[in-house]
Structure 1
Amino acid sequence: MVSRKKTEKEKIIIRPDGAEILTKGKTGGMPLLMIPGLGGDSECWGGVFPRKLREGGIDPLVYDPRGLGLSSCGSLEPSISLYAADAAAVLEDRAPGGAVLGWSMGASVAIELALSRPDLVTRLVLCCGSGDHGMLVRRSPEVFRPILDREAPVAELASVLGSLLLPLNQRGNTPFSRAFLSVIRDSFVRHEEGIRSQQKALAECPPAMPRLQEVAVPVLVIMGDRDGLIPPREGEKLARALRDSRFEIFPGGHGLIYECSAELAERVCSFLSFPGRDTTSPSFAGE
């Protein structure tokens, strides 16, 4: 693991297989466990989105997934269910019961968490996710091949994913884009074992669509209208398959959390704070 000084809000959770999971957050307000996508750690959320959540009365609870940041890999075979169990341990330890947000691959982890530990999850936010990664890979092999290829240099994966996450208004050879891509590349190279594990788990991710009716909590599904990795129609399919869902499209790509930070945080806060039925966005409940 990379040496980094922990703050007073950080804690290490030891998992049964020996993995050490670094968590960050406080539990004074309404907790929101945030699950990052492939290669993301507790630092991947940027500054604006978490700050705006806190201003809205939400306390972000973040962590380094096993093999990334300051968390170790452990000894178990990587899988979406294993990552969901880790996420459950974080939520259980720091804020027993709360809302969960999953971004990209993290949306698959969040769905599995809601299915396997319904006692912990009160509401669910799925951002730029899909209910069937295998189908997406078969439909767009040219898009997913470089993401799932565990033989290619990890720096190449970083370049591909970084380009997809880069805000659309920052595309091109700019100082911001160079710095953005450099941070991602450096992190991927330092944590190659964790990255390879996540690639394997994503490649073997079971379809969630057949089980979505089992998710009993309200769900907000958010997509970017120009997402080059997961098209908006995938979010609509997710929303229609869920028992109680709202569907919303924001202007942006797969890095929606960087492009619409304030607007997205405001929408999430509204969804989490609404005591009853949220009618501020299209609902597919009962369809």
Structure 2
Amino acid sequence: MVRGYTRYVSDASPDLLVPTLGIRTRAWQYGDPAGEPLILVHGFRGDHHGLEGLAGLLAETAPELRVVVPDLPGFGRTPAIPGREHDLRLYGEWLRAFVAEIAPGGFGILGHSFGSLVVARAIADGLDPSRIMLINPISSPALEGPNGAMTRLAIAYYRAAAVLPESRARRLLGDPLIVRVMSEVMAKTRDPELRSWIHRQHAEHFSDFSDSATLLQAFRASVSHTVGEFAAAFAAPTLLIVGDRDDITPLPEQLRLQRAIRGSRLRIVPGVGHLVHYEAVEDATVFVAGFLRETAAERAEPDARRGAAVDAGESGR
């Protein structure tokens, strides 16, 4: 293992098929099947593989957890939802339906990148997690700031694909050279082995989408919203994990998001960009596991004080 990431070989339970909005969502489970549920939501153009390292390390670090990682509709091994626009509203609706099926008794939620938007929208529409964790949240408008030029290029790229027949659109959207350029831009590590591994991950999993129309709809959703739009709906303890070299959402915008989410905590990973889940998965695991322990202890303290007050009252009778 190279420091900062792991080639985690999954010993997860057989993948789950969860009925959601007329499809069956494919998901993978790590840790204790009877443990406290923690649901991880991956980013745009990815699938569960992107969060597999984090899920595996969390299962080792906090064996009391049941970590579940689904493939978003239209990505990986989960089909698109027929007859629906794959906008942020739909993805939020899907997440609420998925959670209701697998964790009706309470859960924590974590979203990376586009997954942070899906989580935020679901919370605004009624999802009620006990703890919220966002890694590289989308906190600034896509066309503003230092990443605006790159976003405009991406919009032109996806618009070009939209006018092509499906077979040609898939070839363009999955072009290995273009995928490699995207990977080179996002990767910040100078470790050649780690950098090569990241490029292989993107080459293997970045083009595993159901069809070009769904991908284009999801792209529009990813560049049309920010987590800050939904910040007022966050009621549970919230942890933000960010890289200080993130080109998609600069650090000042992440600090602004922290102020917008009341009581949220921020952990900054130096020298890392938008790929914390690859380049600093060990750090992310430590932050998430620590946050879960801290918030569990904080929840237990008022209960203990109430119990002590009851005992004192009874003893005084």
Give the TM-score normalised by the residue count of structure 1: 0.81
Q: Distance in 2 between matches of 1:165 and 1:53?
A: 24
User: Is 2:217 aligned against 1:209?
Assistant: no
Deviation per CA, 1:194-218, whole angstroms, max 9, x where unpaired? 432321221333x443541221111
Deviation per CA, 1:178-197, whole angstroms, max 9, x where unpaired? 55324423434442534323
Match of 2:245 in 1: 226
> How many residues align structurally?
263
Match of 2:97 in 1: 89
Moved more, 196-205 or 37-46: 196-205
- Which residues in structure 2 correspond to 1:1-287 (within 5 Å)? 8-16=13-21, 18-25=22-29, 27-47=33-53, 49-54=54-59, 55-57=61-63, 58-75=65-82, 76-96=84-104, 97-119=106-128, 121-132=129-140, 135-139=141-145, 140-148=147-155, 149-150=157-158, 151=160, 153-154=172-173, 155=175, 158-170=179-191, 177-178=195-196, 180-191=198-209, 192-193=211-212, 194-205=214-225, 207-251=226-270, 252-274=272-294, 275-277=296-298
Deviation per CA, 1:226-261, whole angstroms, max 9, x where unpaired? 112221222211110012211121121111122221
Contact 1:37–1:105 at 8 Å: present in 2 too? yes
Moved more, 23-32 or 253-262: 23-32
In structure 2, relative to structure 1, the CA distance for the partners of 1:137 and 1:94 (3 Å cut) is same
Amino acid at match of 1:159: R
Q: Distance in 2 between matches of 1:12 and 1:98?
A: 19
Pick the structure with more helix per residue: 2
Amino acid at match of 2:190: N
Alignment gaps of 5+ in structure 1: 1-6, 279-287
Contact 1:130–1:238 at 8 Å: present in 2 too? no
Alignment gaps of 5+ in structure 2: 1-11, 162-171, 300-317
In structure 2, relative to structure 1, the CA distance for the partners of 1:237 and 1:167 (3 Å cut) is same
Contact 1:222–1:249 at 8 Å: present in 2 too? yes
Q: Secondary structure at the match of 1:136?
A: coil
Q: Distance in 1 between matches of 2:257 and 2:223?
A: 19
Q: Secondary structure at the match of 1:24?
A: strand
Amino acid at match of 2:285: A
Deviation per CA, 1:35-55, whole angstroms, max 9, x where unpaired? 1111111111243x2222112
Q: Secondary structure at the match of 1:44?
A: helix
Amino acid at match of 1:128: N
Match of 2:5 in 1: none
Amino acid at match of 1:244: G
Contact 2:26–2:77 at 8 Å: present in 1 too? yes
Q: Distance in 1 between matches of 2:233 and 2:250?
A: 24
Amino acid at match of 1:226: R
Amino acid at match of 1:51: G
Q: Distance in 2 between matches of 1:52 and 1:111?
A: 25
Deviation per CA, 1:68-103, whole angstroms, max 9, x where unpaired? 111111221011121122222222222222111111
In structure 2, relative to structure 1, the CA distance for the partners of 1:28 and 1:260 (3 Å cut) is same
Deviation per CA, 1:156-183, whole angstroms, max 9, x where unpaired? 653343224435123xxx5664553244
Contact 1:20–1:74 at 8 Å: present in 2 too? no
In structure 2, relative to structure 1, the CA distance for the partners of 1:215 and 1:70 (3 Å cut) is same
Contact 1:101–1:127 at 8 Å: present in 2 too? yes
Q: Distance in 2 between matches of 1:197 and 1:267?
A: 33
Contact 1:164–1:253 at 8 Å: present in 2 too? no
